[in-house]
Amino acid sequence: MSGHDHDHHGHDHGVRADADRRWLVAALALITTFMAGEVVIGVIAGSLALLSDAAHMLTDAAAIVLALIAMRLAARPPQGGYTYGLKRAEILSAQANGLSLLLLGGWLGYEAIRRLLDPPEVAGSLVLGTAAVGIVVNVAAAWCMSRANRTSLNVEGAFQHILNDLFAFVATLIAGLVMVVTGFARADAVASLIVVVLMAVAGVRLVRDSGRILLEAAPPGVDVDEIGAELAAVPAVTEIHDLHVWQITSGQTALSAHVIVADHADCHTTRADLERLLRHRYDMSHTTLQVDHLADLPGGPDEPHCVEAHGPAHRAGT
């Protein structure tokens, strides 16, 4: 790649990140403005559904703020002991996001059940009007977020928050309509419980996905044994072990392995073949392969050459 190409790519990436930031800030401004008004109206109307929507919106706003901070941190170049830079900041942010949804959902669920048993008086018309405006605000915010790069688990997390909120407002709108038409006050608590279920589903997914990355698990859908078998089937390879596949951050998969090749083989050509296979078949370009000839191993071919082998060994034909 020429220097010119590299600069051009870097410039594009910078523009992309700036555009992402602008869309996220626009969504943040919409959400925080509406949320402040919704809290006031929720208190006046005595509606838990509105207050739970506002609480959900608070986690939306927090999600976007965390996404913005994580974007800035992840863009910093690697230095000192942080050899990957701060790319995992977005994963920590996604985890914090998921946990906040679960904790808030637990508290709102408790309140909603209390209100189901003993429903207070709720101003249905205020709930109906506010939910209608909330739907418009969330559609606008979701549109802003959809313009940003959602391959980032962080931005996707914030987008899922807003999408959840949209469904929550639909439930609240229906509850407001029911209260206005029939005077059924428990509809407010029922709408709150629907919001709580949505929060729990989104929270569990975020905690699970970010947890996989923090635990260095292979990306979902990647079969490590299948990769090991394919690499071992490459001509001249006699064994693959210490095979690790993990994600540095969302969208960045890394792989490392110890490759043993036959004594007569050209280890450089074999490594190039393996790297080509990983790049084209599995879209993995961040690979580290240690290649050794069988005869060069400490203790010779019959002795175990790793004091502590990590994971299964893959051999040609097995």
pLDDT (0 to 100) of residue 9: 40
Residues of the chain above pLDDT 90, percent: 24
Residue listed under structure tokens 């428990």: 186
| Domain edge (last residue) among 214, 247, 270 | 214
- Shared domain for 53 and 201, answered yes or no, is yes
- Shared domain for 66 and 44, answered yes or no, is yes
Q: What is the dihedral of CA 19, 24, 28, 29, to 10 degrees?
A: 10
- Does any domain span residue 110? yes
- Helices (DSSP H) in the chain: which residue ranges? 3-45, 48-74, 89-117, 124-146, 153-182, 187-214, 224-232, 267-282
pTM of this prediction exceeds 0.85: no
- Shared domain for 232 and 130, answered yes or no, is no
- 110-158 pLDDT tens trace: 989 998 898 888 888 888 999 999 999 999 998 888 887 666 777 777 7
- Shared domain for 166 and 254, answered yes or no, is no
CA triplet 276, 279, 282: central angle to 5 degrees?
125
Give every strand in the sheet of 252-261, ordered side by side: 286-293, 252-261, 237-249, 314-315
Which of the 8 DSSP states describes residue 76?
S
| Domain edge (last residue) among 214, 236, 259 | 214
- Shared domain for 138 and 269, answered yes or no, is no
Check residue 244 and give left, alpha or beta (phi > 0: left; psi -120 to 50: alpha): beta
- Shared domain for 92 and 240, answered yes or no, is no
- Shared domain for 53 and 90, answered yes or no, is yes
CB-CB contact of 213 with 153 (8 Å): yes
- Shared domain for 66 and 190, answered yes or no, is yes
**What is the domain-level CATH number for residue 146?**
1.20.1510.10
- Does any domain span residue 219? no
- Shared domain for 148 and 283, answered yes or no, is no
- Shared domain for 53 and 161, answered yes or no, is yes
| Domain edge (last residue) among 165, 187, 214 | 214
CB atoms closer than 10 angstroms to residue 302 = 6
pLDDT (0 to 100) of residue 303: 53
User: Which of 49-53, 87-91, 212-216, 264-268 ranks highest by mean pLDDT?
Assistant: 212-216
Q: Which range of residues forms the domain containing residue 139? A: 3-214
